[in-house]
Structure 1
Amino acid sequence: MRAGARLDGGTAGAATWMVEGEAYHEAVQSRTRALVGPGDPAREFDEEDDVRGAYALARWNRWFSPTAELSVQGYYDRTDRSSEVLGEVRDTWDLDLQHRFTLGGWQEIVWGLGARLTRDRVDGSYAAEVPNDRRTDRLWSAFLQDEIDLVPDRLRLTLGSKFEHNDYTGIEVQPNARALWVVTPRHRLWAAVSRAVRTPSRAEADIRFRMSLLEPSPEMPVPVEIHLVGNEDFESETLMAYELGYRGAFGRTLTVDATAFCHVYRELRTIEPVGGPSPGGEGVWVQEMTAENRMRGTVYGTEVETGWHPAPWWRLRLSYTWMVLRLTPEDGSQDPLSEAAEGEAPRNQVSVLSSWDLPAGWELDLWVRHAAGLPSLGVDAYTTADLRIGWTPLPGLDVSLVGQNLLDASHPEFTPEILSTVPAEVERSVYARVTWTH
């Protein structure tokens, strides 16, 4: 169940404000496989996690001129999830400031500052032990962007960077550069180079997961538990993204967007053994594993999206993505599984969205999509469809009936990576939604 509201006020072009909030409460069912005690094999049991939370967001905008604007936004979010294996209560406070203005008539400058505070309380279990059940993380950020008209209305260069300081890896710098060439009013080419990082998570830093139990064997005559332990020295994973794109309009009814990309990853996560098995008590030995940055990778591919309006009341959108993932562990890595992640991303994805504006305020949306299989995870290719019927009986009042994943009762799309949750399937669902805007 979800409920929310939004209020807007002020005067456009001078100062405006917005406040919105939402609360939710739901039960999430899953089947979990986890160790429950020393020397006991993993057991499967059904869980019904109680998930509840709420958020509130407020934003204030002030226009000094058509080309100068100041925006301040505050955000609070609370999430409470109870689970037999790993429960969490998390509070997040976020504050952002952004200022945009022009300089010299041919530059547009945007800069901003941000601060985020996160506090959590984690309730562990035998399968997921939390040495420090409470943690506070702080993230400080700033960014600067300069959009330069090199040739008015023809050639534009955008330079910028984001600067962050987090409690795991310290200072991170993420620069980017983008160029846009307006070949004709209906055809554009662009290119971009950017750097991004994925900072470590709390789980990678200080949580111990008891993953599995190896039964005695001739090589190891005692049971051995495999433990995934946190590594405070784990560094950020890095990405250098190179992209080329085209956007064109053909007549008044057809648009085409095409992108070719090559993403180069460094310092990717592998799971490495920490020494050899050692006594862990109660007749069980322990083999610790931990996250290290010992793999690199490359992703390349293309994305194409077309939009077509066969009639004023009918819109079609077709998108296709082809992607290849290549991973290479560094010399000395003892992780036999991370390279198999090449088969955890679909090589081909295609979707078609058709929208009709019908008489008397009725709307109909049909979205059909297909994704290739994930061989490393044992997930087959699937095709599914969503359907939405909408009605606007009064201005500002929207009533919708939505059906999701309608082509089969259920299908798998992924399998868990860390916790041994038995793979769940995405089920067919139907829900109603009422939105009132005043």
Structure 2
Amino acid sequence: MSMDLDDLTTQSVTVTTAAKKEQSLSDVPAAIYVITNEQIKRSGVRSIAEALALAPGVQVTKISEFNWQVSLRGLNEALFNKLLVMVDGRSVFSPLMSGTFWHTIDAILDDIDRIEILRGSAGTMWGGNATNGVINIITKNSNETLGQFLEVAAGEYNYKEVSYRNGFQINDVTTARLSMKGVQSDYYTFNDDEWNSYNISFRTDYVEDDRFLTFQIGGYHTKSEHSDWYRYDILDTPLNPNDPMSAIVGYKAGLDDFSRGFYSNLNLGKTVDDTHYEATLWIDSNSRTEPSANGEYDTLNTDVLAIKQINPSNELTLGLGARYTKIKVPEKKADFYLGMDPYHRTSSRQTEREQIYNVFSQLETQLTDKFTSSLGVKVEHFTRNNTTEIQPQARLLYRASDDHQFWSGVGRAVVTPSSVDSTTDLYRLGSVVAPLPNCDASTQNCYAQYPMLALTAANPDMDNESVVTWDAGYRGKLSDTLSIDTTIFLSHYENLRMLDNGLWFCRYGECVDGSTQPGQLAVHEFKLVDAIDAQSYGAELSLFWQPTDNININTSYSYIDTQAECSSEYMTCNSYDNGGYKVLYNLQPKHYVSLQMMWAINSQWQIDGWLKHKSSVSSSLDFYHPPAITTMDVRVAWQYNQDWPLVEFVVDGLGSSTYEDLPNKAPLEEVAFLRFSWTKL
């Protein structure tokens, strides 16, 4: 149960995300980190999202026990759209907001081979959304998972989990596996709202010397129950000067939030002489009922790729792709003001169809024995807003020796335009204090509270968000027991989103377009605008140290500083309450630390610890002072021999009192669970 440094060090890992081909990480002129299966297992996590905090540059915010917000290199926000997330090369983004709903991405953790995290602009190879980086979750080939695997777990807050996998041989060159996983738990630690998640997947692999084929199919179903959920009726009643809010009637209704999805992925490759060809076809169909993301989303994607060795010094990669998406978002109902959620997303167009087309090339040149260059460009067209974007990159690698490499690069990438930006509106119910009509201020109190609708309106005329990033780094094996990887970066963002100053579209139920609203409703309408530019810079460090044969220590540190600016015409720019994303971007933790220790005491016992820290935020705002957060996760594992079950006891947040991962997120606290797993070959 002990490990060698070579199992973890960046010097010996093979990656595919950087150039869409297998290569040693030491040959990659970019910032990349690999989370191995052993690191995932020894961290004691229950989900993929939690494991990402092992990597430098990644910020993982826990929203609930089984929901997360993940960002890369700052600009942390709920609908983070500057990170491309893939599972075996299949994008798992939501066409609604060009981001990722992490609670829908799950798998048996033992099925995962590694997670590759490419930091920095990767638009040339991967296109839209690869602005701050790429996370590629790579599962094991089915020939590595033959036999049966069973895992059960149980713990605090009604946590229960069962996973089963059966891997089998079809013939000499073909294998397959079927995996199933189910989770039940409380959604929060502070109430009994229930969480359910179920997924099933099938994978088969055909591998010969010069060709391969992988086919995957699967689906998921999640449900979270929220008992403390209210709906409201806004009644068309005469004004009651003593209680204008009497026109809005609330009642406890509860909410069941469903997410369902189905996917299929076909990937095949063949090598002919000095050229390697690959083709990928995947489909994804998913739906969600949560009020701010309700809708149905269907995507068909196809990519083809050719990698040709032109001569001993030059390798050319050519590719093209197309994506077709159908989005169906509920239209505004005729009885809109009855049974209103506290917030809800609607659209003037119930069904949308869009396409994305791209073509790219990259030339890798061995300049000398020590220098390698990489030049590439992607041209991508988005039919949603009829724009064409050019995403180039240039990179240089210097191999000082087999154990020491220096690299630098610059690239541009864009964010895929989304439905949230351009065609859907979000309302939130609230209230506003306003003077009573025809009130004599000298004789009575003229102010009362009225119902209000805050509307965030889409804007189809915005330019695409983009970033240009320069970064440089060094990676090296300093000794037989110590490996290091360092990066510095500078990014410039344009056309980031925020809300404009807004206008009072309706007052006392009378609207500027001549229409009327029930209950003397006030409507304040904001519009999304592309008014923010930002600059972000920082440094990232990862260390792999093996002080003894049976102890491995993996450490990562990130420093990230963001400075945003926006047009002076928008008063809301600096107001956090009114959508001032400048404040949101600037006031984020700057320091992140992860320290994982893996100790194999003997052939039967393991003790592992994972320390996580994020720094506090200094702010002049009275209501926004995120404190520093430090947590420790502990895992103790025992296995008599390989034929016996592996027994794990895990404590997440050992000794932690109640805290919030970021302000206005759910309260979190210490959680303990027990896990058993069996493998039979």
Normalised by the shorter chain, which TM-score bucket?
Answer: 0.7 to 0.9
Mapped contact 2:377–2:391 kept (Cα < 8 A): yes
TM-score normalised over the length of structure 2 = 0.57
- 1:62 maps to what in 2? 270
- 2:210 maps to what in 1? 14
Q: Is structure 2 residue 535 aligned with structure 1 residue 298?
A: yes
Mapped contact 2:472–2:487 kept (Cα < 8 A): yes
Q: Give the structure with the larger strand fraction.
A: 1
**SS in structure 1 opposite 2:320?**
strand
Partner Cα separation in structure 2 for residue 328 and residue 43 of structure 1 = 42
Distance change in 2, residues 1:241/1:4 (3 Å): same
Q: CA deviation at 1:432?
A: 5.1
- 2:323 maps to what in 1? 116
Partner Cα separation in structure 2 for residue 392 and residue 142 of structure 1 = 54
Mapped contact 1:253–1:309 kept (Cα < 8 A): yes
Match for 2:628: what amino acid?
Answer: A
Q: 2:581 aligns with which of 338, 347, 355?
A: 338
Q: CA deviation at 1:232?
A: 0.8
Q: 1:83 aligns with which of 279, 287, 290?
A: 290
TM-score normalised over the length of structure 1 = 0.85
Partner Cα separation in structure 1 for residue 329 and residue 426 of structure 2 = 13
Q: After superposition, give the CA deviation of every residue in 1:363-391 in whole Å (9 maximum; x if it has no partner).
A: 66543211224668654332234456586
Partner Cα separation in structure 2 for residue 143 and residue 431 of structure 1 = 48
Q: Which moved more, 1:380-389 or 1:170-179?
A: 380-389
Q: Which moved more, 1:281-290 or 1:358-367?
A: 358-367
Mapped contact 1:27–1:50 kept (Cα < 8 A): yes
Q: CA deviation at 1:430?
A: 4.4
Mapped contact 2:563–2:586 kept (Cα < 8 A): no
Q: CA deviation at 1:356?
A: 4.4
Match for 2:471: what amino acid?
Answer: E
Partner Cα separation in structure 1 for residue 647 and residue 204 of structure 2 = 21
Q: CA deviation at 1:316?
A: 1.6
Q: Which moved more, 1:162-171 or 1:424-433?
A: 424-433
Partner Cα separation in structure 2 for residue 100 and residue 402 of structure 1 = 47
Match for 2:666: what amino acid?
Answer: A
Partner Cα separation in structure 2 for residue 43 and residue 414 of structure 1 = 30
Q: Is structure 2 residue 465 aligned with structure 1 residue 237?
A: yes
Q: Is structure 2 residue 627 aligned with structure 1 residue 380?
A: yes
Matches within 5 A, 1:21-60: 21-29=217-225, 36-38=232-234, 40=248, 46-60=254-268
Match for 1:62: what amino acid?
Answer: K
Partner Cα separation in structure 2 for residue 426 and residue 21 of structure 1 = 35
Partner Cα separation in structure 2 for residue 168 and residue 347 of structure 1 = 35
Matches within 5 A, 1:393-408: 403=650, 405-407=652-654, 408=656
Mapped contact 2:355–2:384 kept (Cα < 8 A): no
Q: Is structure 2 residue 442 aligned with structure 1 residue 195?
A: no
Q: Which moved more, 1:347-356 or 1:81-90?
A: 81-90
Q: Which moved more, 1:204-213 or 1:96-105?
A: 204-213
Mapped contact 2:632–2:652 kept (Cα < 8 A): yes
Partner Cα separation in structure 2 for residue 6 and residue 435 of structure 1 = 21
Distance change in 2, residues 1:35/1:29 (3 Å): closer
Partner Cα separation in structure 2 for residue 27 and residue 409 of structure 1 = 28
Q: CA deviation at 1:120?
A: 2.8
Partner Cα separation in structure 1 for residue 564 and residue 534 of structure 2 = 4
Q: Is structure 2 residue 590 aligned with structure 1 residue 347?
A: yes
Partner Cα separation in structure 1 for residue 675 and residue 424 of structure 2 = 40
Match for 2:554: what amino acid?
Answer: R
Higher-RCO chain (CA-CA 8 Å, sequence separation at least 6) = 2
Distance change in 2, residues 1:171/1:316 (3 Å): same
Partner Cα separation in structure 2 for residue 331 and residue 63 of structure 1 = 57
Q: Is structure 2 residue 392 aligned with structure 1 residue 175?
A: yes
Q: CA deviation at 1:56?
A: 2.2
Q: Which moved more, 1:347-356 or 1:289-298?
A: 347-356
Distance change in 2, residues 1:429/1:327 (3 Å): farther
Q: Is structure 2 residue 431 aligned with structure 1 residue 226?
A: no
**SS in structure 2 opposite 1:203?**
helix
Match for 1:54: what amino acid?
Answer: F
Matches within 5 A, 1:98-117: 98-117=305-324
Q: Which moved more, 1:263-272 or 1:369-378?
A: 369-378
- 1:147 maps to what in 2? 364
Partner Cα separation in structure 2 for residue 435 and residue 87 of structure 1 = 39
**SS in structure 2 opposite 1:341?**
helix
Q: CA deviation at 1:227?
A: 0.9
Q: CA deviation at 1:155?
A: 0.9
Mapped contact 2:248–2:451 kept (Cα < 8 A): no
Mapped contact 1:199–1:235 kept (Cα < 8 A): no
Partner Cα separation in structure 2 for residue 150 and residue 32 of structure 1 = 64
Partner Cα separation in structure 2 for residue 399 and residue 43 of structure 1 = 49
Distance change in 2, residues 1:211/1:146 (3 Å): same
**SS in structure 1 opposite 2:262?**
strand
Q: CA deviation at 1:229?
A: 0.6
Partner Cα separation in structure 2 for residue 435 and residue 71 of structure 1 = 36
Partner Cα separation in structure 1 for residue 556 and residue 396 of structure 2 = 24
Distance change in 2, residues 1:74/1:434 (3 Å): farther
**SS in structure 1 opposite 2:500?**
strand
Partner Cα separation in structure 1 for residue 647 and residue 400 of structure 2 = 42
Mapped contact 1:242–1:261 kept (Cα < 8 A): yes
Partner Cα separation in structure 1 for residue 232 and residue 292 of structure 2 = 9
Q: CA deviation at 1:262?
A: 0.9
Match for 2:260: what amino acid?
Answer: R
Q: CA deviation at 1:42?
A: 8.7
Distance change in 2, residues 1:394/1:381 (3 Å): same
Partner Cα separation in structure 2 for residue 99 and residue 431 of structure 1 = 47
Mapped contact 1:28–1:48 kept (Cα < 8 A): yes
- 2:560 maps to what in 1? 323
Mapped contact 1:33–1:42 kept (Cα < 8 A): no
For structure 1, list consecutive stretches of 5 or more residues without a partner in the other structure: 416-421
Q: CA deviation at 1:223?
A: 5.1
Partner Cα separation in structure 1 for residue 263 and residue 214 of structure 2 = 14
Q: CA deviation at 1:148?
A: 1.1
Mapped contact 1:101–1:109 kept (Cα < 8 A): yes
- 1:289 maps to what in 2? 526
Partner Cα separation in structure 2 for residue 33 and residue 156 of structure 1 = 58
Partner Cα separation in structure 1 for residue 453 and residue 221 of structure 2 = 36
Q: After superposition, give the CA deviation of every residue in 1:9-65 in whole Å (9 maximum; x if it has no partner).
A: 221x31111122333222224588888444649988753312222322221121224
Match for 1:289: what amino acid?
Answer: F
For structure 2, list consecutive stretches of 5 or more residues without a partner in the other structure: 1-181, 183-198, 235-246, 438-446
Distance change in 2, residues 1:84/1:247 (3 Å): closer
Partner Cα separation in structure 1 for residue 547 and residue 567 of structure 2 = 52
